[in-house]
Each structure stands twice: as C-alpha cells, then as structure tokens.
C-alpha cells in the first residue's frame, strides 16, 4: 500500500482532515500522511479542478478524487470502485482520494430512480460507467498535452498520473487541468477503453484502504458522530407489533440527572438527554401504558401451523414447466416434504442509529444508510419540506445486510422527527434490544415440496409451494417488481429459475400479511430457496441411489458455467476421497445476483453438536475486479449464512419478539468458525455481484453433510433446534 503520491501530502489539508476524524491511508507499519477519505462537505478543493463528471475530480495539485455514491458496509466498495476508474485514467488506485457523495441523481442506480447500495450491484452496475468516465478524463488530459507540445495525440502515452511523449517529456495530470477545462469533452459512449488484457490494476488483489482507520478506532460510523450541542436520545418503543400508546408519565424520567426532555414521537416516547446513559436511565423510569391487544394472538408457531394447511392449497403460479401431475402419475418414487425457515434478524454489529439536525434551512442527517435518496424523500415528507432541503452525510456502516436499506427509512425519519421536536442536533441510538425487536426480518417461510424421480433415478418433477410474506411487495420496489396478481419475484428467485434441469417444475406461492415487518436479508429470497432446492436435489439423489455430486453434474450438464463451478468446488475439496474419521461432505450450488457459487462443507456430528470443519467454495462472478475482496465476501457470506443455519431464529409470541440480544439470538463465534478456501473461476462471463451470493449455498451444504453423517434430513432451520442425533 504505497502512499507516495507526489505532491498530495498537503499539510494544511491533512490537518483539516484529522480535525474531522477521517484521517489517512497508510502503510502496514505506520500512518501515512496522505488523506484518503473525505466527506463531500469537507472536500478541500485545490485552486483549479478538472471535473469532467460527477464521479471524478483532478486537482491542479495532482489530487485525484473519486466520488463514491455507494455505502461502505464492509464489502470494500471504497476500494473496488476507485480501482475501476483509476484503471482507465491510468493512475495507481492507492493514490486516489475517495470522497463520499451526498444525495445526487448522478449516483442513482442505472435502471432505478434511486441512490442505494444493495442487491450486490455496486460493481456490476457501475463498472462500465466508471471505466468510461476514467477514459474520458484521460483522453481530455492527453489532448491538452498534445496541444501544449504541439504533437499528434497518438504519439502520447500515460503512466500513473503523467503524460509522456516519445522524446521522454512528461506532464503531470495536475498541470493539464486548466487546459483540459477549456476543451470539449470527448463523448464517453464512444471513448476508447483499454483492452482488458492490458489492465494494470483490475483483476489484481489490492489491500483494503480503510484498514488503517478501522484498526485504530478512527473510522467514523454513524453512532460515532458528534455535532456541536448534540443531545442523545433513546426511544421507548412498542413492546409488541401494532401496539399503541394510551399514555405515559415522564415525571420520574425527567428527574434523572442528564435527561433534558421527553417527547412523544410516532415510534414511541423519546427520552432526550446529555448522553446515552442518562437517556437509558430516563427510559427505564418512564411509566408507559401500551395497548398490545392488536396482535395478542400472533405467534410464529401459530403461523407455521396455519401455513402448513395453506401450503396444501393451490397458490399463485410462479412457474409451470411441463406437467407435474402427469409426471407424478408415471413416477418411480416420490417424496412429499415440508421445509421451514425462521424469521431472522440482520443483527448488524452497529445497532441502528442516526444523527439529525433540523433548522430553518432544512435537515441534515449523519448516518450509515444503504438508501440515501429514499431516506431524503421520506425525511422530507415527515418534516413537510422539499427533498432538496435534506442533506445526507453517509458514514461508515457497521454492517448493513439489507437492514440499513429500510423500506420506510425508519431510523432516519425518526431521528429527524426527534431533532425537530427538540430543536437541537440529536443522535438517536437504538439499543441492541431495540434493534433486534424493532422489526424487519427475513420472512418466516413454510415450503411444501412434492417431488418425483423416474425409474432411472433422475428427477421427473418438482412441485414447490412457498408460504411467506413477500419482500419486494413491502418495499418501494413492489410497484415495479410485483405482478398485478401479487406474484413477488423475490419469493421464487432461485426456485422457479433453479439451474438444475427438472423436466416438470411447478412453483406456487401464498402471500401472507402477518403484522411482523419483514425486509431483504442478505441474498433476499435466495437464502430460502437455496436451502429448499439444494436439499430437495440431495433427497432425490439419495432416493435414486446416486452420488449427490454426480447427480448434480448430470443435472447441470447443459450449463457449462455452473458445471465448472460445481466441479471446481468438488475437486478442490477432494470430493469422494477419504476424510478424517467421522467427517462427511455435503455440497450445494446457487446462482444469485449474477454469480454462481458452489460450496462443499466438511462436517462432523457428535453428541448432538454439528461441527463445520472446512468450507471449500468456488465462485464465478464473471470478472473479479479486486480478487482479494471477492474472497473476503465469500468468507463473509458463508459465515453469515452458517451463523443463521446453525442457530439463527427470531420467534414471535403474543405479538412480541422473544429474542432481544446475543444471549438468546446466538450468532457464530470464532471457535465455531470453519476454515474456508475460496477459488475464483474466471469465466469471462458478465460481471456478477459478490456481497450476497456466498450466503445461499452454505445452509444446504451443511445440512446435506449432516445427512451424510447421520441419515437425518434437516428440514427445519436452525439446525441446532432440529438435530436429533
């Protein structure tokens, strides 16, 4: 991680940046001088800038700034996106400064009118644009140099921020920005791009640039923001879904030292104090009268019982290939099984929070969010102001996993309302219990699967009926994505379009409407369908007396990319060869977000406990822009999915969430974390996503291994609750 960047270590700028707490890039051995990350408001511009596009700015002092509208939640986007632009601009990506964008339509998704980070789409949807913008800027700088030297531009080359000519002369990019500003910009759609075989940076591992500030405690997350005169609030929230507040008595709360105000807000009663501890003590002292009768009878066990019946009835048809009923009549053997998956909390390490300040000029927010433009819109609506009057400062996200892409901007709107009520900057902190019980889970899912094999043991038919609350239908994407009959693609993604060749396939859906708020959870429908589909394929292989790996190979023989990924994972895991005593393999494959991932889990089961020793993963994401972060995201997706598969479960009783903290919502710890080997298959296919596709295969890979080890088929997650051995 070089920090050379001649001329960029401007001392005044450096001090300024340290002042706002987002310091430097650095080397492993010590902090470097170069500022790496700045917020839009803090950008300290050199006297002359060349900014051909919202994405990039080149200063007369040679500072190259890439402006990023995506949120950094661990996936390394502040490294990968600058790398793409820097490749075509021809500068070392590690000398590029990253500036965090505000809300600006320039950073909207190419096909959706929104600025958000999700769906594993950051690289895949910006790769082409960032390349073109980098190439456009380089082309303008080359033209400026050609004019200055009065030579043909074709004789010039670039190298890490410098234009060279055939006689060995050099011009720094910074010295050309004034001239470049006077030139017409080349058309980005027709600008010449590099031949990928000449890439210097893309496709080569690059270390994370946010490590130095994250290992020293200097990275500023939303919860770390401090504003002058800021107060801190916690909110007494409804104890059950749909509960309403009859009244409250704040006398005792207001008597707590440090409590400043108590205000009723739409989400509950806000206790606003000098610091978090006073706010928490004030909240404990509140006397609250909640009416929780609305959902007294709501329980997750009750829903499962209802849905078991519902799953036997015809639903909305999401897919119908061939004729499943005819196939069942000619089947050699059939199964009729139920697969159940629980509600899951995202449980980001950083509990939800936001800082807001409301003045006559509008509202400013400092928060970790995945959905800036929607937050601005909902906050503006709540305050009755224009969206343009809402400024958003995106901070580091202490995890996102979908929760920080709230469909209703709950944590942003709430902070704005509290700040408005109190007339001062306010940080609203959610406790872990607030966060875990406050709603927005992966949906509870009940699945009935009837399946058949022929005399040859190969699949004849799968008839899969899913009962669950639809995810997209409950977000702003519902209008666009959900059919008028109510078919939500997120419910059937990965089941209706499974890559395994099934001659007769029928997928049906029952949409439910229980009062439990649900939301996209890392990989959305795929972590549900991936478990069901890959488990059922395993069941059919066993029913047909076949090797579960060879069975999949046969079912994927018309899909060369999938087959290659499956075979790579199996080969790297030494599938079929002797394992240590008591160890067994399970395998699964899922395509999601444009990438194909296969995983082999090596598992042992003893005394009722599953141990996952090793996971071998193969991934085809088309092009791995930064291979080291592709590996990191596979590891991340696997362990996030494994945590859920082993222990993850949110239960509802009496309309209330049972689990409130990590004592009962158990998550994976280091001691139970397997070794992970990731292998990247460079297919050269279209670029796929990487943040989510590592998650879906792990639960079925582990459960298939458990079957191999014990003969018990896990059809209800989490494993720890189902395992009977």
Partner 1 sequence: MISLNINGVQREVEADADMPLLWALRDILQLTGTKYGCGIAQCGACTVHLDGQPIRSCSIPVSAAVGGRITTIEGIAEGEKLHPVQQAWIELDVVQCGYCQSGQIMSAVALLETNTNPNDADIDAAMNGNICRCGTYPRIRAAIKRAAEIKRGGKSA
- Shortest Cβ distance from residue 429 to partner 1 (Å)? 8
Residue selected from 221, 343, 441, 521 as contacting partner 1 according to rule CB under 8 A: 221
Q: Is 394 near partner 1 (CB under 8 A)?
A: no
The residue range among 43-51, 300-308, 549-557, 673-681 that interacts with partner 1, by the rule CB under 8 A, is 673-681
Q: Residue 75 or residue 120: which is nearer to partner 1 going by CB?
A: 75
Q: Residue 223 or residue 563: which is nearer to partner 1 going by CB?
A: 223
Residue selected from 207, 313, 557, 611 as contacting partner 1 according to rule CB under 8 A: 207
Q: Is 64 near partner 1 (CB under 8 A)?
A: no
Q: Residue 409 or residue 636: which is nearer to partner 1 going by CB?
A: 636
Q: Residue 413 or residue 631: which is nearer to partner 1 going by CB?
A: 631
Residue selected from 67, 73, 101, 390 as contacting partner 1 according to rule CB under 8 A: 73
Structure-token pair, residue 692: 């989510």
Q: Is 217 near partner 1 (CB under 8 A)?
A: yes
- Shortest Cβ distance from residue 632 to partner 1 (Å)? 6
- Shortest Cβ distance from residue 34 to partner 1 (Å)? 14
Q: Residue 175 or residue 673: which is nearer to partner 1 going by CB?
A: 673
- Shortest Cβ distance from residue 489 to partner 1 (Å)? 27
Q: Is 675 near partner 1 (CB under 8 A)?
A: yes
Residue selected from 61, 92, 224, 538 as contacting partner 1 according to rule CB under 8 A: 224
- Shortest Cβ distance from residue 212 to partner 1 (Å)? 6
Task: Count other C-beta atoms under 10 Å from residue 246's C-beta.
Answer: 9
d(CA 48, CA 57): 10
Q: Is 9 near partner 1 (CB under 8 A)?
A: no
d(CA 432, CA 580): 41
Q: Residue 134 or residue 637: which is nearer to partner 1 going by CB?
A: 637
Orientation of helix 627-647 relative to helix 698-710, angle to 10°? 50
Q: Is 580 near partner 1 (CB under 8 A)?
A: no
Residues 676-695 touching partner 1, rule: CB under 8 A, are 676
Residue selected from 143, 158, 232, 475 as contacting partner 1 according to rule CB under 8 A: 232
Residues 419-458 touching partner 1, rule: CB under 8 A, are 429, 431-432
- Shortest Cβ distance from residue 210 to partner 1 (Å)? 7
Helical segments of 182-316, H only: 211-214, 251-254, 276-285, 300-310
Residue selected from 161, 398, 622, 693 as contacting partner 1 according to rule CB under 8 A: 398
Helical segments of 44-116, H only: 77-89
Q: Is 226 near partner 1 (CB under 8 A)?
A: yes
Q: Is 671 near partner 1 (CB under 8 A)?
A: yes
Torsion of the alpha carbons at 388, 390, 393 and 395, rounded to the nearest 10: -120
Helical segments of 488-557, H only: 489-492, 526-543, 548-555
The residue range among 59-67, 70-78, 145-153, 161-169 that interacts with partner 1, by the rule CB under 8 A, is 70-78
**Counting every residue, how long is the chain?**
725
The residue range among 52-60, 246-254, 332-340, 344-352 that interacts with partner 1, by the rule CB under 8 A, is 344-352
Q: Residue 36 or residue 339: which is nearer to partner 1 going by CB?
A: 36
Q: What is the three-class DSSP state of 588?
A: strand
Q: Residue 300 or residue 643: which is nearer to partner 1 going by CB?
A: 643
Q: Is 667 near partner 1 (CB under 8 A)?
A: yes
* CA angle in degrees (0–180, nearest 5) for 478-481-485: 85
Task: Count other C-beta atoms under 10 Å from residue 30's C-beta.
Answer: 9
Q: Is 26 near partner 1 (CB under 8 A)?
A: yes
d(CA 93, CA 75): 17
Tokens 């008839």 -> residue: 463
Q: Is 30 near partner 1 (CB under 8 A)?
A: yes
- Shortest Cβ distance from residue 452 to partner 1 (Å)? 38
Stated as kind and residue range, the H or E segment containing 721 is: helix 719-722
Residue 113: Cβ-neighbour burial (10 angstroms; 0-12, 13-18, 19+): exposed
Tokens 């005169």 -> residue: 229
Q: Is 628 near partner 1 (CB under 8 A)?
A: yes
* CA angle in degrees (0–180, nearest 5) for 440-445-450: 165
Q: Is 609 near partner 1 (CB under 8 A)?
A: no
Q: Is 276 near partner 1 (CB under 8 A)?
A: yes
Q: Is 297 near partner 1 (CB under 8 A)?
A: no
Torsion of the alpha carbons at 632, 638, 640 and 642, rounded to the nearest 10: -150
Structure-token pair, residue 273: 């104090």
Q: Is 645 near partner 1 (CB under 8 A)?
A: no
CA–CA distances in Å: residue 340 to residues 443, 449, 650: 11, 11, 13
Residue 659 makes CB contacts below 8 A (sequence gap 6+) with: 345, 436, 437, 649, 650, 651, 665
d(CA 321, CA 461): 9
Beta pairing, strands 459-468 & 504-511: parallel
Q: What is the three-class DSSP state of 264?
A: strand
Binding track over 399-418 against partner 1, x by CB under 8 A: xxx-----------------
Residue 442: Cβ-neighbour burial (10 angstroms; 0-12, 13-18, 19+): buried
The residue range among 141-149, 394-402, 548-556, 717-725 that interacts with partner 1, by the rule CB under 8 A, is 394-402
Q: Is 348 near partner 1 (CB under 8 A)?
A: yes
- Shortest Cβ distance from residue 663 to partner 1 (Å)? 5
Residue selected from 396, 411, 575, 707 as contacting partner 1 according to rule CB under 8 A: 396
Stated as kind and residue range, the H or E segment containing 675 is: strand 675-680
Q: Is 350 near partner 1 (CB under 8 A)?
A: yes
- Shortest Cβ distance from residue 96 to partner 1 (Å)? 18
Q: Is 210 near partner 1 (CB under 8 A)?
A: yes
Give how many residues touch partner 1 by CB under 8 A. Answer: 68
Q: Residue 571 or residue 628: which is nearer to partner 1 going by CB?
A: 628
Q: Is 351 near partner 1 (CB under 8 A)?
A: yes
Structure-token pair, residue 145: 């140099």
Structure-token pair, residue 5: 């960047």
d(CA 530, CA 550): 19
SS (H, E, C) 121-134: CHHHHHHHHHHHHH
The residue range among 41-49, 223-231, 573-581, 598-606 that interacts with partner 1, by the rule CB under 8 A, is 223-231
- Does residue 718 have a cis bond before it (omega within 30 degrees)? yes
Q: Is 275 near partner 1 (CB under 8 A)?
A: yes
Structure-token pair, residue 549: 């790996």
DSSP state of 186: P
Residue selected from 174, 212, 402, 443 as contacting partner 1 according to rule CB under 8 A: 212
CB-based contact 223:415 (threshold 8 Å) = no
CB-based contact 42:98 (threshold 8 Å) = no
Residues 104-143 touching partner 1, rule: CB under 8 A, are none
Q: Is 303 near partner 1 (CB under 8 A)?
A: no
d(CA 478, CA 474): 6
Structure-token pair, residue 401: 């996993």
- Shortest Cβ distance from residue 12 to partner 1 (Å)? 19
Residues that bind partner 1 (CB under 8 A): 1, 26, 28-31, 72-76, 207-208, 210-212, 214-221, 223-224, 226, 232, 257, 275-277, 347-351, 396-401, 429, 431-432, 628-629, 632, 635-640, 643, 661-663, 667-671, 673-676
């Amino acid at each position: 991680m070089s920090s050379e960047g001649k001329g960029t270590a401007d001392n005044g700028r450096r001090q300024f940046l340290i002042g706002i707490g987002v310091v430097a890039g650095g080397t492993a051995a010590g902090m470097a001088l170069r500022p790496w990350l700045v917020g839009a408001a803090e950008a300290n511009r050199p006297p002359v800038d060349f900014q051909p596009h919202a994405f990039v700015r080149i200063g007369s002092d040679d500072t190259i700034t890439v402006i990023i509208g995506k949120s950094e939640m661990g996936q390394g986007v502040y490294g990968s996106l600058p790398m793409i632009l820097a490749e075509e601009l021809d500068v070392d990506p590690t000398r590029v400064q990253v500036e965090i964008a505000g809300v600006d339509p320039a950073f909207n998704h190419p096909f959706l009118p929104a600025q958000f980070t999700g769906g594993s789409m950051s690289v895949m949807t910006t790769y082409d644009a960032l390349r073109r913008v980098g190439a456009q800027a380089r082309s303008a700088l080359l033209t400026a140099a050609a004019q200055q030297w009065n030579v043909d531009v074709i004789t010039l080359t670039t190298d890490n921020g410098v234009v060279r000519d055939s006689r060995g002369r050099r011009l720094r990019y910074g010295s050309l920005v004034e001239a470049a500003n006077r030139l017409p910009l080349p058309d980005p759609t027709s600008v010449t791009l590099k031949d990928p075989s000449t890439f210097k940076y893309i496709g080569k591992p690059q270390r994370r640039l946010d490590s130095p500030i994250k290992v020293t405690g200097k990275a500023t997350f939303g919860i770390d923001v401090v504003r002058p005169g800021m107060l801190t609030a916690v909110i007494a929230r409804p104890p059950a879904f749909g509960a309403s507040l009859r009244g409250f008595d704040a006398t005792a709360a207001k008597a707590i030292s440090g409590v400043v105000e108590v205000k009723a807000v739409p989400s509950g009663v806000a206790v606003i104090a000098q610091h978090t501890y006073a706010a928490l003590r004030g909240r404990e002292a509140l006397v609250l009268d909640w009416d929780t009768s609305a959902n007294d009878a709501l329980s997750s066990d009750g829903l499962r019982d209802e849905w078991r019946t519902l799953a036997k009835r015809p639903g909305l048809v999401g897919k119908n290939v061939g004729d499943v009923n005819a196939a069942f009549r000619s089947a050699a053997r059939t199964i009729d099984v139920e697969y159940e998956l629980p509600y899951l909390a995202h449980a980001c390490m950083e509990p939800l929070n936001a800082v807001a300040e409301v003045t006559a000029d509008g509202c400013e927010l400092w928060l970790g969010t995945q959905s800036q433009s929607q937050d601005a819109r909902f906050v503006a609506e709540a305050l009755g102001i224009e969206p343009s009057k809402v400024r958003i400062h995106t901070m580091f996200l202490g995890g996102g996993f979908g929760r920080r892409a709230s469909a209703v901007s709950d944590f942003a709107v709430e902070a704005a309302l509290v700040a408005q009520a109190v007339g001062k900057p306010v940080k609203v902190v959610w406790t872990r219990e607030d966060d875990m019980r406050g709603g927005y889970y992966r949906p509870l899912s009940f699945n009935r699967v009837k399946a058949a094999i022929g005399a040859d043991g190969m699949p004849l038919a799968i008839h899969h009926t899913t009962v669950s609350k639809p995810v997209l239908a409950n977000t702003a994407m519902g209008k666009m994505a959900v059919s008028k009959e109510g078919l939500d693609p997120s419910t059937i993604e990965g089941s209706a379009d499974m890559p395994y060749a099934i001659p007769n396939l029928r997928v049906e859906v029952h949409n439910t409407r229980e009062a439990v708020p649900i939301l996209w959870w890392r990989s959305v429908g795929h972590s549900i369908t991936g478990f069901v589909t890959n488990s059922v394929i395993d069941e059919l292989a066993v029913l047909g007396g076949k090797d579960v790996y060879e069975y999949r190979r046969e079912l994927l023989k018309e899909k060369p990319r999938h087959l290659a990924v499956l075979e790579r994972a199996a080969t790297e895991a030494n599938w079929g060869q002797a394992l240590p005593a008591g160890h067994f393999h399970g395998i699964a494959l899922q395509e999601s977000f444009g990438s194909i991932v296969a995983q082999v889990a090596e598992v042992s089961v003893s005394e009722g406990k599953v141990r996952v020793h090793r996971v071998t993963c193969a991934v085809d994401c088309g092009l791995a822009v930064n291979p080291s972060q592709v590996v990191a995201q596979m590891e991340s997706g696997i362990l996030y999915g494994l945590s859920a598969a082993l222990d993850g479960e949110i239960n509802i009783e009496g309309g209330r969430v049972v689990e409130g903290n990590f004592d009962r919502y158990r998550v994976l710890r280091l001691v139970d974390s397997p070794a992970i080997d990731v292998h990247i298959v460079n297919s050269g296919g279209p670029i796929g996503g990487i943040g989510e596709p590592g998650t879906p295969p792990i639960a079925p890979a582990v459960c298939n291994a458990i079957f191999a080890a014990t003969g018990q088929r896990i059809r209800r997650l989490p494993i720890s609750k189902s395992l009977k051995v």
